[in-house]
Amino acid sequence: MRIFGLSFNVIKTLLTTQYAYMLEYRIEIALWALSGVLPFIMFSLWSQNDVGNTFGLNDIGLARYFLSAFLVRQFSVVWVVFSFEEDSLSGRLSPYLLQPLHPLLRYVAAHLAEQATRLPFAIAIAITFFILNPSSFWLPSLPQLFLAYLSTHLAFSIAFLLQSLVAAFCFWTEKSSALERLIFVPYLFLSGLLVPLSAFPSSVLKLAMCTPFPYLINFPAKILSGMPVNISSGFLAQILWISILIPLVNILWKLGVKRYTAMGA
Amino acid sequence: MQNNPSDLIVVDQLSKYYRVANKQPGFKGTLKHFFDRKTYDVPAVTDVSFKISPGEIVGFLGANGAGKTTLLKMMCGLIHPSTGLVDVGGFSPQRRQTAFLKEITLVMGQKQQLIWDLPPMDSLYVNAAVYGLSDNEAKIRINELAEMLELGEELTRPVRKLSLGQRMKSEILAALLHKPSVLFLDEPTLGLDVNAQARVRSFLSEYNKRTGATILLTSHYMADITALCPRVICIHKGKLFYDGDLDSLAISLSPSREVKVELKTPFSRDQFEKYGEIQDLNDRFVCLLVSRDKLTDVVSNLLTDFDIIDLEISDPPIDQLIGELFIKGEVN
């Protein structure tokens, strides 16, 4: 059986090995999961200032949105640019380039394994949130959960491709993590991590919707929290961004490896 | 350069230039480097040509920065040549086609592909899957190679807990799991103790005999080269300046041999001057440097003319000769 041109055995072995590797760092991953509490800080800030109505949400809606944003973030967080840069500078990339497997697929496996490791911590944090805010408790329906799961994975794919695009600049600049900051700032403001996008003026919102960022947090979080959202246009936009980014990453990668100098190896 | 169908590797007028930035020291230099960065091309390999037949073991010799590793990296497809051609088994390495990648491997001393926090076995199964080996094939292959490399329970211990020698052997195992027919080895014994070096060398020799694999090797340890490589390619400042067998290189580097004689009774210096250049004379011991073409006659005369207890003929150490060669930059 082959999935995306890869044999099931490759996928299974990569994922199980990476999962074993991530379990070696379970404390670190728990801390990473805890460090992603920005949506809760924002929730606390907005709810105390009673601006929920401005966002078109009551306190319960606001709480559910930010918990959903936290969960979506946990399963769509990407760090490929940092790993890739380190591997590229230390020479670890060299053996990967000489194996019949695209090096980026190793990073995909590492991210998926890390997501699996984060799962129990994310659930524990969600339970704690409900204990502290019992009125915000809700259980999404199965179709809602499925759509949220799907859109979160598509969000992860977009984020991964965006960072891979930046990571490929390592072949030119060596320190491409500095370029990642250029993505991080618009990501922070336009993804819905700090504030639901409904809070934006319509002109800014229109502009934001032309970027990939609202589909990284806002769209999946709205599905999960049960807020009204145009599901078909959201998924269409996610697929569109993936279709644009895949060939771009491919082209940049092919141009980049020609410049690879195998530093440190 | 005419290609012979029996050549496995053809390198033709290969060159590689690296673009580097030049920065002057001090604050002024830093500002200048920031606003007006000056870059220039540094030649790492210049116009190198040679051919290698299947099953050969070839050693690449050269001082640090000579260009031998760059050459190896171009041959395995890791870096793209600036100009010239490389052909490995009918493949253009830099295209990194799957069929090519399945035929080669690269081992770099002290650079690891094994996952640091997991036992080597986990990395081995990843490699097996990547190269399309079934679990059963992988098991057989791991056992076979582990036996040759004298690896046992080390394979189930975390890599970080292994000694350098055990780690290197595990790296070699991981690199050879898919039965590559061309091995690119860059300093495979770097940092290993004498015993571990000897074990890696004997493994490589055995692997070459068993599988007929072609081995291209760079090493700073002459013992690796003398034990494994009948043919050597010397690179100096990016250029090829010797390609041939190691014995001929030793002869051209040192046309004389050392003859050490232990005598029953002491003799004076002038009695030995006609036999060769006296290197050392100490009571009953004398060391002479004798040209190779006169060696048989000189030894025969010494045995006739003197009462000799012991006689030893040797070459000057090859590493000493190669060291002199790099300083000199040319072969006689």
Which residue among A17, A97, A259 places its CB closest to the CB of B78? A97
What is the spatial distance between Cα B205 and Cα B229, in angstroms, rounded to a whole number? 9
Q: Please check the confidence at residue A103 and state whether its pLDDT lies above 80.
A: yes
Q: Which pLDDT tens digit goes with each residue over A141-166?
A: 999 999 999 999 999 999 999 999 99
Which residue among B101, B125, B128 places its CB closest to the CB of A100? B101
What is the spatial distance between Cα A16 and Cα A247, in angstroms, rounded to a whole number? 29
Q: Which pLDDT tens digit goes with each residue over B14-32?
A: 999 988 877 778 878 877 7
- Lowest mean pLDDT segment, chosen from A7-16, B30-39, B99-108: B30-39
Residues in chain A with CB shorter than 8 Å from the CB of B183 are none
What is the spatial distance between Cα B230 and Cα B188, in angstroms, rounded to a whole number? 18
- C-alpha distances out from residue A196 to A233, A237, B29, B211, B319, Å: 18, 18, 49, 64, 71
Q: What are phi and psi of B241, to 5 degrees?
A: -125, 0
Which residue among B79, B126, B134 places its CB closest to the CB of A17? B126
Residue count of chain B, please give it.
332
Residues in chain B with CB shorter than 8 Å from the CB of A258 are 80, 94
Contacts of B12 (CB under 8 A, 6+ apart): B1, B49, B84, B85, B86, B87
The pTM of the full predicted model, rounded to 2 decimals, is 0.84
Q: What is the pLDDT of residue A1?
A: 60
- Which one of B19, B78, B122, B168 makes the best mutation probe of the A interface by having the most chain A beta carbons within 10 Å? B78
Strand pairing report for B231-236 and B57-61: parallel
What is the spatial distance between Cα B287 and Cα B297, in angstroms, rounded to a whole number? 16
- Lowest mean pLDDT segment, chosen from A42-51, A145-154, B117-126, B159-168: A42-51
Which residue among B98, B122, B175 places its CB closest to the CB of A100? B98
Q: What is the pLDDT of residue B268?
A: 83
Instruction: Flag if A92 and B112 touch (Cβ within 8 Å).
Output: yes
The nearest CA of chain B is from the CA of A94 a distance in Å of: 7
B106 CB within 8 Å of a chain A CB: yes
ipTM, two decimals, is 0.83
Residue of chain A minimizing CA distance to B130:
A10
Amino acid, res. B118? L
B190 CB within 8 Å of a chain A CB: no
- Lowest mean pLDDT segment, chosen from A21-30, A119-128, B201-210: A21-30
SS3 call for B171: helix
Contact call for residues B90 and B261 (beta carbons, < 8 A) = no
Q: What is the pLDDT of residue B111?
A: 74
Give burial (CB, 10 Å; 0-12/13-18/19+) of A248.
Answer: middle
Instruction: Flag if B18 and A101 touch (Cβ within 8 Å).
Output: no
- Lowest mean pLDDT segment, chosen from A41-50, B9-18, B268-277: A41-50
Q: What is the pLDDT of residue B192?
A: 80
The nearest CA of chain A is from the CA of B118 a distance in Å of: 7
Contact call for residues B282 and B255 (beta carbons, < 8 A) = no
What is the spatial distance between Cα B59 and Cα B63, in angstroms, rounded to a whole number? 13
- Interface list for chain A against chain B, based on CB atoms closer than 8 Å: 7, 9-10, 12-14, 17, 20-21, 24-25, 91-92, 94-101, 257-262, 264-265
Residues in chain A with CB shorter than 8 Å from the CB of B106 are 94-95, 98
What is the spatial distance between Cα A79 and Cα A90, in angstroms, rounded to a whole number? 17
- Which one of A10, A12, A21, A261 makes the best mutation probe of the B interface by having the most chain B beta carbons within 10 Å? A261
Give burial (CB, 10 Å; 0-12/13-18/19+) of A59.
Answer: middle
Q: Please check the confidence at residue A7 and state whether its pLDDT lies above 90.
A: no
User: Chain-wide mean pLDDT for chain B?
Assistant: 88
